[in-house]
Structure 1
Amino acid sequence: MLVFETAAAAAAYMEPIDVRNGEYLVVFDSEGRKLGIEVGFESRPGMVGLLARRIEVVRLVPLDDRPDEAELASLLRSFLADVDGRHELAAEASLAELIRRTADVALTR
Structure 2
Amino acid sequence: MFANDRDLLLLEPNLFRDLAWVGQRLLVTTGSVSGSVLTLISGDFNSVGIGFGCVALYDATPTEITNIAAANAATVSLIRADPAGAIVPPLALGIKPVIVSTFRPQLALVHHQVLR
Task: Using structure 1 for the length normalisation, give the TM-score.
Answer: 0.26
Query: In proportion to residue count, which structure has more strand?
Result: 2
More helix by share: 1
Length-normalised TM-score, structure 2: 0.25
